Structure 1
Amino acid sequence: MIRRAAHVPCLLLYLGLANVWTTGPARAEIDCANAVSTVEMNFCADKDYQAADKALNAAYANAVASIRTGGDQEKPYDVASFLEAMRKAQRAWVAYRDADCKELVAQEWSGGSGTSSAILGCMTEKTIQRTKELRERYRQQ
């Protein structure tokens, strides 16, 4: 139990300071190719995750648009059922990604100084993979 409790302050610190890492004049000075401090690494990891999340949102929107124009069949293969299945699958995927990255990775790092970057790296990697899956399944560029 002591080990688990150690992660709570680290995650709260990450959540509370995430906005600080991405605002202010210091952000323009961070060279992500040469990030060395924990703050710089966290900033760069968050920047990468935000870009991956934006691409995922676009791929998801395109998949939904593709489903909507795919032609309507009878239940349970109609557009409404297809869209509901897509929403359900995406929500389940988000829950998996968050549990794996925010919970399991945090445990693996035992709340160390690299925990936030490791969590963001995990989330970025999984988000990029999901984007690729959606693009391939729904014929997107």
Structure 2
Amino acid sequence: MLITMMTMLALAQEPEVTCDDPVSTVEIGICMGRELEREQARQARYFAAVVERAEGLGDRIVGADGPEVAEALRAGQAAWEAYVQASCDATYAWWSDGTIRGSKALGCRIDLTRQRTHELWRAYLTYPDSTPPILPEPSGSAS
């Protein structure tokens, strides 16, 4: 509860920052936080499309039905989220002697989120033939 209140207070007091050319550590952190939010929203959209596709498969998958596949996908996503937490916590710890640690940890989360979004797209939202993908290929920045 205290963390939630502190986060809300920090967001309410966030200075006006244009992210074209952030200068200070605070501005860089704010801009990277915004970028992470965009990447997480895009990943959520791609993951929702993956689950929707799985649930729509019914019993057309050999040995499993759509809901079983969707549940396996959710378990995989939860494991990925745990990995990101541990990996980026390690990055934060590695850089703990400097103010850059926050930016390094945010960069870790941004990079891993982009990679996962692309992995979801490649593995589950494309087809092995010339059929167009369900969603466009995610680029290096938020679409």
| Normalised TM-score (structure 2) | 0.76
The residue number in structure 2 matching 1:69 is 56
In structure 1, what is the Cα distance between the partners aligned to 2:36 and 2:9?
A: 14
How many residues end up aligned between the 2 structures? 124
* Residue ranges of structure 1 left out of the alignment (5+ in a row): 1-12
In structure 1, what is the Cα distance between the partners aligned to 2:111 and 2:78?
A: 17
In structure 2, what is the Cα distance between the partners aligned to 1:122 and 1:108?
A: 12
The residue number in structure 2 matching 1:31 is 18
**Structure 1 or 2: more helix by fraction:** 1
Over aligned residue pairs, what C-alpha RMSD do you find? 2.4
* Further displaced range: 107-116 or 46-55: 107-116
Q: Which has the higher contact order (CA 8 A, sep 6+)?
A: 1
Give, as a single letter, the amino acid of the residue that structure 2 aligns with 1:65: E
In structure 2, what is the Cα distance between the partners aligned to 1:18 and 1:109?
A: 26
In structure 2, what is the Cα distance between the partners aligned to 1:100 and 1:19?
A: 28
* Residue ranges of structure 2 left out of the alignment (5+ in a row): 127-134, 137-143
Mapped contact 2:54–2:67 kept (Cα < 8 A):
no
- Report matched runs for 1:1-141 at 5 Å: 16=6, 20=10, 22-24=11-13, 26-27=15-16, 30-73=17-60, 76-101=63-88, 103-137=89-123, 138-139=125-126, 140-141=135-136
* Further displaced range: 87-96 or 106-115: 106-115
| Normalised TM-score (structure 1) | 0.77
Mapped contact 1:35–1:41 kept (Cα < 8 A):
yes
In structure 1, what is the Cα distance between the partners aligned to 2:8 and 2:91?
A: 18
Identity of aligned residues (%): 28
